[in-house]
Structure 1
Amino acid sequence: MQHSHISRRSVLAGAAGLAAGAAGLGVGRASATPRVATAADRFTAITHVTVIDATGAPAQRDMTVLLRGDRILAVEPSRRVGVPPGAQVVDGRGKFLIPGLANMHNHTFDGELIEPPLNIANGITTVREMSANADVTQWRREIAAGTRLGPRYTIGSPIVDGSPSLWEGLGAPYIAVATPAEGRATVRAQKDAGADFVKVYTRLSRASFFAIADEARRQRIPFLGHVSDFVQLTEASDAGLASVEHLFQVFYDLSSREDELRRAITSVPIAGGEYNGWLNKMHPYEYAAARSVDRHKAAGVFARLARNRTRVTPTLVLHTFTDLPGDTPLTDPRYAYVPAATQGFWQFALELIYLNGRTPEQDARGREIYERRLRLVYDLDRAGVPLLAGTDNGTAYLVPGFSLHDELARLAQAGLTNMRVLQTATLEPARYLGARDRGTIERGNVADLVLLDADPLRDIRNTTRINSVVVRGEVIDPAARQRMLDDVRQAAAAQPPAPAPVAARCPC
C-alpha cells in the first residue's frame, strides 16, 4: 500500500535531505527542469514492521522504517509516517526487522561465487577477515565501487606467530617472528601493506609479543588475536590487545593453579608445524585450569578486561569442533553450498589434525571443557566484557554464512539473553569498529537490515527465518535471495574435487 503524503514530523526528522529528495522525485513544488532520480534519491519504506533496533530497547511494533538511498531516514510509528510516491514498499506485517549481522572472525577460502553471496543471503553485512587475503581485498574495492554485492570487510595481516610456528609447512599464510626487532618490523610492514590490524598468534615469545604491542601502539594500528602461551590474558589486555580470539588461553588466568600450570605449558616442547601436537599436548593443562577456576580471582580478571574494553570472540562453533570432534556431523544439507574440494579438506583435517592421537579420555574431558566454556561466556557477559560473534569459517565443517547463526544459537545456549546475543553480532561489532552509523536501527544509520519471518527475541534461532536482506539500501527480496542461494549451490557443484589437500585451514 502506498500513501501520497509525508507527515510533518517525518519531514523534520529527515531534515532538508528529505525535502530535496522529494523534490527530485516530483513531490512538492514543480521544477522547471526535471531531474533524473539517482540511487541516492531512491526511497524504500518497510511498513508495519516490528523493529528490534539492537540498542537494548524493547521491540517497537507497527513501525515504518523509511530509507533514502543507503541511509535510514526515519523510524516512526506507521500511523505517523507516509510513504513518498514511487517509493519501493516492503510489507512488514507479521515480520521483524533487525540490523545487518557481523561475523567478526572469518577466513575466506571458497571464492567469489561462494562466500560473498552466502554472507549476504544469511544477513551478514559486515565481516572481519582474520588473515590477509588478496581476493577479499579485491572484493572490498569492488563492493565500495558498487560493482559487487557483498559485506563490508575489515582485513587483517597474515598470522604473526613465533618461530617456529604452529603452521610451518602446513600451507596457511603466516609470518614467523623470532625476535622483538622482527616483531616491530612486521607491524610496520603490515601497516604499510594496508592491513587494518595485526593478527598475533599462539607461539609468540613474551618479548616479541610485547614488542608488537608497543609498535602497534606507536603505529596506531590495532593488534589482536590469540593470547600467546607465554603471556597472561590480563597482561595482553593491559598491553592493548583489542580482542581475544577463541577461549583456549582464558582459563589459565582464572585458575588457582595458574603459576604451576604456566610453568608446565611454557616448558612443553612444540615443534614447527605441530598444530595437532599443540592441541593434544596442551589439552591436559587446559583441562586442569578449567577445573580449578577460582571465582574470586575470575571476577578480578573479568573486571580488568571490562575496564580495558578488551573484546572476546568466543567462537563457540569452533570449540564445538575442537572439544568434540567425534560429534562432528558428516552430513548436513547446507554442505551442498560448499565445493567438494573443501569438503574433502574437512575430512582430511578432521582425521589428521583433530582426531589423530585423540583418546577416549580426551573425549570425556573435551565434553566437560566445552560445558565450562559455556559458563565462561555467560560469566564474561555478566561482568560486562564485550563479546563479538565470530565463527572461524575456514575450520572444518563450518559453512560460510550459515555458521554465524549456529554461533548465535550457542551463545544463547551459554545463557545470554536473546537481545545480548543479537548485540554480539550488531551493536558490539559496530562499537568495536568505531562505526557510529552501523549496528542499530536508528535515523541516519547505514541501511543494512535483515527482515525476519519470526521473532528472534522469542527464539534466537529465528535469525535463520530470513525473508529479505537490505544491503546499503538495496533490497534483496525472497525471490532474489533464493536465486543467490541457488547460484551458490550450482557454483559449488560445478567445482571439481581436489585430488588431495594442498593447504591447511585453521582455527586461527
Structure 2
Amino acid sequence: MNKDNRTGATAFTDARVIVGDGTTVLDDAVITVQNGCITGLSQAPAGDLTGATVVSLRGKTVMPTLVNPHGHIGYMRGAACDPGCYSRENILDHLRRFVYYGISTFQCLGTDRNGIEIAIRDEQRSGTLDDPDLATFFTAGSGLVAAPGPGQASGAPFFAVDAVHQVTDPADGRAFVRELAGRKVDAVKFWIDDRGGAAAKLSPEACREIVDEAHQHGIQAAAHIYTVEDAKVALDAGADILAHMPRSPGPDQELIERLVERDTAVFTSMSVQGPTRTEWLDDPAVRETLPATAIEELRGRMQARGGEPLFDTGETYRRLQENFATLHQAGVRLVYSADTGLLAQLPGLAEHRELEALVEAGLSPLEAIEFATRRSSHLLGLTDRGTIEVGKRADLLVLDADPRADITNTRRIADVVLEGRVVDRERLRRQWRTDGE
C-alpha cells in the first residue's frame, strides 16, 4: 500500500469492512478518507472517485483499530518485566508497538514513575511530541494502595511497588488525589487487594475519600479488585470502573444488580490470567518484533508452569470464564481490557490475545471486536473513533484474513492506517531488528 499519500482524498476499495458495532459487515465496500477522517462508506459501486487515490483492498478485511483502556507501560523489555526497564524511551517504544499491532489508543492505569507518563501525554496533546507513530496516550499517573503495616507486603503490583502512593489514612488518600487532579490525570486508580492475605488493604473509608475527591474534579475512579467483597467496597465508595471481574467467589445477585443499576464498567482482563499455552509464541506476528532469545525465555517460563497460568490457577481462570458469562448475560457493562505490560502481556500482542480470550469465553468474533473498539472508546469518552463510520477518524486495521472465521486472524496484519495515513510498519521493524542486534 502506498505510504506516501498524505494529502487529498483516498478511496480504499474492494474491502470487507467490519464496522465495529458488533453486527454490521459490508462486503465489497469503499471507504473514502480525507484529512484524516472517513468521508464516505458504501458498498460498490462507490460513485465518482475522480481525484482520489484509489487503493484496492481486494481479499482484505478492514476493522477499526483497537482501543485498550487498561494496561501498564514502560516496564517490559523483551521477556522481562522489571522497574529497571522503565524509562521515557521504553514508554515511547511501547506506544510504537501498540500502533504497529493496530492499537490506536492506550491508557496506563496507575504505575507512572516520576510523572514521566504525564509529561509524555501532555507533549503529545500539545503537539510538541511530533511522532505520528505513537498510540494516543491516556494515563492515571500514580495509583494508590494501602500503606503496609508491620510484617505486611504492599498490595501494589509487583513491578511497581515503589511507583504507587501508599495511603496512610483516608485524609492522605484524598490529598494525593487532589495532587493528581492538579496534573489533570485521565483517571484515578486504586487497589483493593490483600494479595491472598499477605498485604494491607485499603479501608472502605479511604476508598470513599479517594473516589469522592476524584469525582469532585470530574475524574473517573477505577478500582483493582479480586473478590466479590472487594467489588462491593468499591461500589460503596462510588467507583466508576472495576479493573477486573471478581474472581473469588462468583458474583452474587446483589453485586450484579448494583453493577447493572449503576452501569458500572467492569474490565474483562482475562488473558493475563489465561493458561500458559505457548503456540501463540510461534505466530509470525510475535517474531516480527521480539528477539528469538526473548521468545524462548518466555516459552521456558510458561512451560515450567505445566499449563497453569503465570498468575493464579487454572481453576481460577475457569471460574473467571464462568463469571464473564454470568455478568454478560445479566447485562453488566463489560469493557475490553488487556492488562498489558506484565507477565506475558506483551505490548501490542496482549490486546490480540485478549480478543481470543473473549471468544473462548463465549463471545462471537464480531462481539469481541465491538468490546475492543466501540465500547472501550466510549469508556474513554472518545467519540471520534471505535467504529468505521462517516465522520470518525480513519483508524483502520487491514487484515489478510477474516477474523470471523478465526479471531486470531486479527494478528494477520497487512497494514495499519492512523488518521488516514498508512503506518510504515517495515521501518519500525527495521528499527527493532537493529536494536535487538
Q: What is the TM-score normalised by the length of structure 1?
A: 0.70
Residue 288 of structure 2 contacts residue 429 of structure 2 at CA under 8 Å; is this kept in 1?
Answer: no
Q: How far has the Cα of 1:238 moved from its partner?
A: 5.1
Residues of 2 paired with 1:406 and 1:362: CA distance? 14
> Which runs of 5 or more structure 1 residues have no equivalent in the other structure?
1-37, 252-285, 495-508
Determine which of 287, 295, 307 is the counterpart of 2:261: 307
Map of 1:96-175 to 2, 5 A cutoff? 96-109=61-74, 110=77, 111=90, 114-131=93-110, 132=112, 134-144=115-125, 145=127, 147-148=130-131, 149-164=133-148, 165-167=154-156, 172=161, 173-175=163-165
Determine whether 1:43 maps to 2:19.
no
CA shift in 2, pair 1:178/1:137, >3 Å: closer
Determine which of 412, 434, 438 is the counterpart of 2:381: 434
Q: How far has the Cα of 1:127 moved from its partner?
A: 0.4
- Structure 1 window deviating more from structure 2 (69-78 vs 403-412): it is 69-78
Which secondary structure state, in structure 1, belongs to the residue aligned with residue 38 of structure 2? Answer: strand
Which secondary structure state, in structure 1, belongs to the residue aligned with residue 173 of structure 2? Answer: helix
Residue 272 of structure 2 contacts residue 344 of structure 2 at CA under 8 Å; is this kept in 1?
Answer: no
CA shift in 2, pair 1:308/1:489, >3 Å: farther
Partner deviation per Cα, 1:199-225 (whole Å, 9 max, x = no partner): 101221111011112222222111103
Determine whether 1:423 maps to 2:370.
yes
Map of 1:25-104 to 2, 5 A cutoff? 42-85=8-51, 87-104=52-69
What amino acid maps onto 2:130 in structure 1?
T
Which secondary structure state, in structure 1, belongs to the residue aligned with residue 40 of structure 2? Answer: strand
What amino acid maps onto 1:103 in structure 2?
N
Partner deviation per Cα, 1:452-496 (whole Å, 9 max, x = no partner): 1221223211111211111112112xxx323322322332x14xx
Determine whether 1:467 maps to 2:414.
yes
Equivalent residue for 1:377? 324
Determine which of 163, 172, 176 is the counterpart of 1:182: 172
Residue 213 of structure 1 contacts residue 240 of structure 1 at CA under 8 Å; is this kept in 2?
Answer: yes
Equivalent residue for 2:433? 489
Percent identity (aligned): 28
Equivalent residue for 2:87? none
Which secondary structure state, in structure 2, belongs to the residue aligned with residue 307 of structure 1? Answer: helix
Which secondary structure state, in structure 1, belongs to the residue aligned with residue 143 of structure 2? Answer: strand
Residues of 1 paired with 2:308 and 2:93: CA distance? 38
Q: How far has the Cα of 1:328 moved from its partner?
A: 6.8
Residue 117 of structure 1 contacts residue 488 of structure 1 at CA under 8 Å; is this kept in 2?
Answer: no
Residues of 2 paired with 1:112 and 1:435: CA distance? 22
Partner deviation per Cα, 1:121-179 (whole Å, 9 max, x = no partner): 11100101113254444443454427112111111121200111334996531101121
Residues of 2 paired with 1:361 and 1:190: CA distance? 38
The alignment covers a number of residue pairs equal to 397
Which secondary structure state, in structure 2, belongs to the residue aligned with residue 79 of structure 1? Answer: coil
Residues of 2 paired with 1:415 and 1:228: CA distance? 22
Residue 201 of structure 1 contacts residue 228 of structure 1 at CA under 8 Å; is this kept in 2?
Answer: no
Determine whether 1:205 maps to 2:203.
yes
Residue 32 of structure 2 contacts residue 41 of structure 2 at CA under 8 Å; is this kept in 1?
Answer: yes
Q: What is the TM-score normalised by the length of structure 2?
A: 0.80
CA shift in 2, pair 1:362/1:52, >3 Å: closer
Which secondary structure state, in structure 2, belongs to the residue aligned with residue 65 of structure 1? Answer: strand
Residue 9 of structure 2 contacts residue 35 of structure 2 at CA under 8 Å; is this kept in 1?
Answer: yes
Higher helix share: 1
CA shift in 2, pair 1:344/1:139, >3 Å: farther
Residues of 2 paired with 1:130 and 1:44: CA distance? 36
Residues of 1 paired with 2:326 and 2:29: CA distance? 35
Map of 1:193-272 to 2, 5 A cutoff? 193-202=183-192, 203-227=201-225, 232-237=230-235, 239-247=237-245, 250-251=246-247
Residues of 2 paired with 1:170 and 1:92: CA distance? 43
What amino acid maps onto 1:123 in structure 2?
G
What amino acid maps onto 2:313 in structure 1?
G
Partner deviation per Cα, 1:15-56 (whole Å, 9 max, x = no partner): xxxxxxxxxxxxxxxxxxxxxxx96x5212111212111123
- Structure 1 window deviating more from structure 2 (100-109 vs 118-127): it is 100-109
Residues of 2 paired with 1:63 and 1:489: CA distance? 36
Which secondary structure state, in structure 2, belongs to the residue aligned with residue 429 of structure 1? Answer: helix
Q: How far has the Cα of 1:386 moved from its partner?
A: 2.3
Residues of 1 paired with 2:429 and 2:355: CA distance? 21
Residues of 1 paired with 2:166 and 2:411: CA distance? 40
Residue 118 of structure 1 contacts residue 485 of structure 1 at CA under 8 Å; is this kept in 2?
Answer: no
Residue 187 of structure 2 contacts residue 222 of structure 2 at CA under 8 Å; is this kept in 1?
Answer: yes
